[in-house]
Amino acid sequence: MRNRLKKLREDLGLTQEQLGELVGVSRQAINAIETEKFEPSIWLAYDIAKVFNSRIEDIFLFEESERKSRSQQRRGVV
Protein backbone atom coordinates (compact mmCIF):
# COMPACT_ATOMS: atom_id res chain seq x y z
CA MET A 1 0.00 0.00 0.00
CA ARG A 2 1.37 3.39 -0.93
CA ASN A 3 1.79 5.98 1.79
CA ARG A 4 2.94 9.51 2.54
CA LEU A 5 4.56 8.61 5.83
CA LYS A 6 8.15 9.61 5.03
CA LYS A 7 7.16 13.07 3.80
CA LEU A 8 4.90 13.73 6.77
CA ARG A 9 7.54 12.48 9.20
CA GLU A 10 10.26 14.63 7.64
CA ASP A 11 7.95 17.66 7.54
CA LEU A 12 7.58 17.35 11.33
CA GLY A 13 11.33 16.89 11.74
CA LEU A 14 10.98 13.42 13.24
CA THR A 15 13.43 10.59 12.75
CA GLN A 16 12.17 7.08 12.10
CA GLU A 17 13.27 6.19 15.62
CA GLN A 18 11.35 9.09 17.16
CA LEU A 19 8.17 8.21 15.28
CA GLY A 20 8.58 4.58 16.28
CA GLU A 21 8.84 5.58 19.93
CA LEU A 22 5.67 7.68 19.65
CA VAL A 23 3.64 4.78 18.25
CA GLY A 24 5.35 1.89 20.04
CA VAL A 25 7.27 0.18 17.24
CA SER A 26 10.90 -0.05 16.16
CA ARG A 27 12.73 2.20 13.72
CA GLN A 28 12.92 -0.81 11.43
CA ALA A 29 9.13 -1.13 11.42
CA ILE A 30 8.74 2.53 10.44
CA ASN A 31 11.30 2.03 7.67
CA ALA A 32 9.45 -1.04 6.39
CA ILE A 33 6.17 0.89 6.30
CA GLU A 34 7.77 3.86 4.51
CA THR A 35 9.33 1.60 1.89
CA GLU A 36 6.04 -0.28 1.44
CA LYS A 37 7.52 -3.60 2.57
CA PHE A 38 5.08 -3.83 5.48
CA GLU A 39 1.45 -2.81 5.86
CA PRO A 40 0.57 -1.65 9.37
CA SER A 41 -2.36 -3.01 11.32
CA ILE A 42 -5.38 -0.75 11.51
CA TRP A 43 -4.44 0.06 15.11
CA LEU A 44 -0.90 1.08 14.18
CA ALA A 45 -2.20 3.12 11.23
CA TYR A 46 -4.58 4.86 13.64
CA ASP A 47 -1.76 5.67 16.08
CA ILE A 48 0.39 7.01 13.23
CA ALA A 49 -2.49 9.16 11.98
CA LYS A 50 -2.94 10.62 15.48
CA VAL A 51 0.72 11.72 15.54
CA PHE A 52 0.13 13.72 12.36
CA ASN A 53 -3.35 14.89 13.36
CA SER A 54 -4.59 13.33 10.12
CA ARG A 55 -7.00 10.71 8.90
CA ILE A 56 -5.64 7.25 8.11
CA GLU A 57 -6.68 7.62 4.47
CA ASP A 58 -4.67 10.86 4.19
CA ILE A 59 -1.50 8.93 5.03
CA PHE A 60 -2.15 5.49 3.55
CA LEU A 61 -3.29 5.71 -0.06
CA PHE A 62 -5.47 2.68 -0.68
CA GLU A 63 -6.66 3.77 -4.11
CA GLU A 64 -3.11 4.03 -5.42
CA SER A 65 -2.09 0.57 -4.28
CA GLU A 66 -1.34 -1.98 -6.96
CA ARG A 67 -1.80 -4.79 -4.48
CA LYS A 68 -5.17 -6.49 -4.61
CA SER A 69 -7.30 -6.54 -1.50
CA ARG A 70 -7.94 -9.89 0.12
CA SER A 71 -11.53 -9.85 -1.13
CA GLN A 72 -10.33 -9.18 -4.68
CA GLN A 73 -7.83 -12.02 -4.40
CA ARG A 74 -10.57 -14.42 -3.24
CA ARG A 75 -12.86 -13.37 -6.08
CA GLY A 76 -10.07 -13.69 -8.66
CA VAL A 77 -10.25 -10.02 -9.71
CA VAL A 78 -7.43 -9.16 -12.12
4-31 pLDDT, tens per residue?
A: 999 999 999 999 999 999 999 999 999 9
Domains of the chain by start residue, with CATH = 2-75 (1.10.260.40)
Amino acid at 7: K
pLDDT greater than 80 at residue 44: yes
Specify the higher pLDDT residue, 70 or 41: 41
Q: What is the mean pLDDT of residues 49-77?
A: 78
Q: What is the pTM of this model?
A: 0.79
Q: What is the mean pLDDT of residues 61-67?
A: 64
